[in-house]
Structure 1
């Protein structure tokens, strides 16, 4: 009885294997049509990949330089800082201004005549009293009579004169003048302001350089990230295709009574899980494609430069060191220190006097006020005796700011060195991992093929096939992810070493490139 059951199971197994082989060697068009009808979403990545404009990494870099708002803003800020430096470069020149005024004025003059009137009256009387003595004797009688009459009339004459005299005058005039002021000594304020402006321009240049580096690193992230997302989507699709075929084989074997229902359900669960993974990968790929298009301000675009790896080891990490002072962040920190030092000199200038020359010329002398000169010139000195701002505390604050800026500059250089060493480790680690993944991928592909053959022949189990497919999918995913990690880490290393302009050189001499089409 057991022998008969075994013979029947063997016949069913043989018929199932023959049906699987017939299906595998059937019309290719029929298989594709069935796949499209069963899973219409599978056609989506192929259509999406062919949409848009193909653009190389170099072309994308040039495009980003012309359309990036961040780079444009940094360029405008740099130009503004340079204009500010040029504006304060002429602080030692004289300041000449012209002004014009139209004036309407009234002048009142009051003169007190009391003392003058009394002096005149007494002087007149003294004078008249001396007249008879000086007149000849024959005329003294006549002179005395005349003097007497005049003396009697004097009080009435002087009484008619007022005690004060008031005069009021109104007029209108046009008053054009030219004034000039020339700084002779500013106590060090002018040189401090000019040094601060130069440092501000250096700071703006450093910020613009840092913005350019950040934009390029972001381009590497988005550009090659889109390629990595596409590679992961292709890997997920291949896994889904393989599990679709495996599920189809399991159903045929179940129909022939070779495998139980539980194995088919296990294959169904694995296939559905792969479908969910693939759908998420497609969404991630679409998001990466949209991000690249937005970054480059293009409607639709896809990269034409693939993920790459340079198999040769990097030069020693020490070769990437030594340029920390030329990094944009280091130059910005150094410029900040120079601004702080200029602030110290400016605070010291508040303790010193200021000397200046000045002059003014009236262009309309005929209409000048009575108290106004035709022109005036001179020199002056100004010194602040008491200020409403404590100059001592202000100077101490400026010194502390300078010390903080100097420490920050040193810390920036140290951080740049540490970042370079860490980035070198990441690049080298990604390179070695990628090279090891080549052999792992080949082994995973062979293991998956052997397990599939064993399952179709009824010698293997579905569990081993699923495990082999999981290992293969992980190897494909790790290969794409490691290549992307290498490219991004390389950009970070070159940026940390101040050599980001050499990224295209590494790209040109790369000897390993992941194809843009189907996965190898």
Structure 2
């Protein structure tokens, strides 16, 4: 059963029409000023512009399309620029113990060889100098610390440009892109479904207002007839032709008709207010009457077999989204490869350890994840299976809904055609009973029965025409042809006269 449902109409033999979903349920009382006369086509065009449900669905579709466009470029590199102002301090410590020992030993070796390398006349002098230097060396080396510590403080402005390019995502990027596209398709299907729901609701409310007006008119005519009957009964009582009980019986029937007329007027006013609220105007006067086609529709099979129904498109998109989820779950088992690079725009003021630029490739593989990848993949596969089953069920439901809607249309058509003879017979029977009563030959009970039969025939005729229009809209929606509703309306050869409006 599609989300928009099928019209439900019940017609009671007493002549009252019960119209579902509130077309006649509102009891708002208020005068309508300057009502706008609108045909059904004009009301449909206005609804497209003022319906919040249609606007919300269109915006949701736009958001989904923009999301799909946003992830369509996931394979592009990511280029970022950053700037840092850094204040840093660096401390260096050098151990000089070994160097001091090596230098002292080398110096002693050097000095010990000096006396032998000079002429004999100077050897005594050289030996005396070497001895004094040797005595001074321990003090000289002792002045050198065992550890040399150096501390440096500086400020650096560090502007850089970084780039990362995905090389292999394990299938994650294509899965995300397919999922986003499926989400956009599902949103488009929901928007189409919302538009169909709005149109069917317009059929319900627009023609429901006319049906409510017909009921109110029939109730007023019945009340007027019973007023005349009460007047005749009173005259006959005063003339001694009928007893007081007959006058009281006529009074009771007349009062019941007055209450029914009041309820019908309130219901009509509520239907009129609902139509005005739907079209966001102060008042609407429908100009397209209830209609029925005397010729039957083409066979039900001709309305089957379409795959572009909104509910089927949404089911297929949901299945595509679930399949993308399976691919995304599989990608978690695969490695990821990427290329990266960075360029320093202020190399003259760079840190000593910083390169001027760097480039490379990297591979990342998740060895252990805190999410069980096996269960995640199993869940994704179960979702895909559920989506596939739901898509098949949607197709079966669409066929069933179409067949039921076709039966409703045909049943309403046949019932309406049979009511023509009933209405004519009820009208003639009432005329005969009224004449007989005035002449004193008929009974009041017979007149009341004839009046009730005529009222029932009138309300049933309006109710059946309304049922036909709603069922036709349901059939066209179930078969994906709701856009053709105005064509069927124009081709109908039976139109109920509209109630005269002030």
Decide: shared fold, TM above 0.5: yes
2:146, 2:64 → 1: CA distance?
A: 71
In structure 1, which of residues 350, 371, 377 is the aligned counterpart of residue 332 of structure 2?
350
Say whether the 8 Å CA contact 1:234–1:518 is kept in structure 2. no
Q: 1:266-415 maps to which residues of 2 (within 5 A)?
A: 266-323=249-306, 325-415=307-397
Q: Deviations over 1:226-261 (max 9, x none)?
A: 000000000111111111110111111111111111
Deviation (angstroms), 1:138: 5.5
Equivalent residue for 2:195, pick from 200, 204, 212: 212
Q: State yes or no: 1:429 paired with 2:411.
A: yes
The separation in 2 between residues aligned to 1:507 and 1:288, in whole angstroms, is 21
Report Cα offsets for 1:345-365 as digits up to 9, x if no partner.
Answer: 111111111111111111111
| Higher RCO (C-alpha 8 Å, min separation 6) | 2
Pairwise mapping of residues 133-148 of structure 1 onto structure 2 (< 5 A)?
A: 139-148=122-131
How far does residue 395 in structure 1 lie from its aligned partner after superposition? 1.0
For 1:431 and 1:136, how far apart are their aligned partners in 2? 144
Residue 170 (structure 1) shift: 1.4
Q: Distance in 2 between matches of 1:218 and 1:103?
A: 66
Alpha-carbon contact 1:184-1:355 (below 8 Å) kept: yes
Q: 1:435/1:212 Cα in 2 relative to 1: closer, same or farther (>3 Å)? A: same
Whether 2:225 is the aligned partner of 1:242: answer yes
TM-score by length of 1: 0.88
- The structure with the largest helix share of the pair is 1
2:53: which partner in 1? 70
CA distance in 2, matches of 1:388, 1:137: 88
Residues 467 and 192 of structure 1: is their aligned pair in 2 closer, same or farther, counting only changes over 3 Å? Answer: same
**Structure 1 vs Structure 2 CA RMSD:** 1.7
State the Cα deviation string for residues 295-338 of structure 1 (Å, max 9, x = none). Answer: 11111111000000011011111000001x21111111111111
Rounded to whole Å, the distance in 2 between the matches of 1:386 and 1:125 is 64
- Quote the Cα distance in structure 1 between the aligned partners of 2:131 and 2:373: 80
The answer for the alignment partner of 1:505 in structure 2 is: 487
SS in structure 1 of the partner of residue 497 of structure 2: coil
Question: Can you list the C-alpha shifts for 1:380-426, whole angstroms capped at 9, x where unaligned?
Answer: 11111111111111111111111111111111111111100110110
CA offsets per residue over residues 44-94 of structure 1, 9 Å max, x none?
Answer: xxx989951210000000000011111111111111111111111111111
Equivalent of residue 449 in structure 2, options 463, 467, 478:
467
Taking the TM superposition and a 5 Å limit, the aligned residue runs for 1:449-460 are 449-460=431-442
Aligned residue pairs total: 472
Residue aligned with 1:66, SS:
helix
CA distance in 2 between counterparts of 1:91 and 1:53 reads 52
Contact 1:199 1:338 in 2 (8 A): yes
Distance, in Å, in 2 between the alignment partners of 1:241 and 1:232 is 14
Shift of 1:136: 5.7
Equivalent of residue 459 in structure 2, options 477, 487, 491:
477
2:464 and 2:270 map into 1 onto residues whose CA distance is: 20
Residue in 2 aligned with 1:125? 108
- Aligned partners of 2:372, 2:315: CA distance in 1, in Å? 29
The answer as to whether partners of 1:49 and 1:302 remain within 8 angstroms in 2 is: no
TM-score (norm 2): 0.91
Contact 1:433/1:482 (8 A) holds in 2:
yes
What residue in structure 2 maps to residue 494 of structure 1?
476
SS in 1 for 2:150: strand
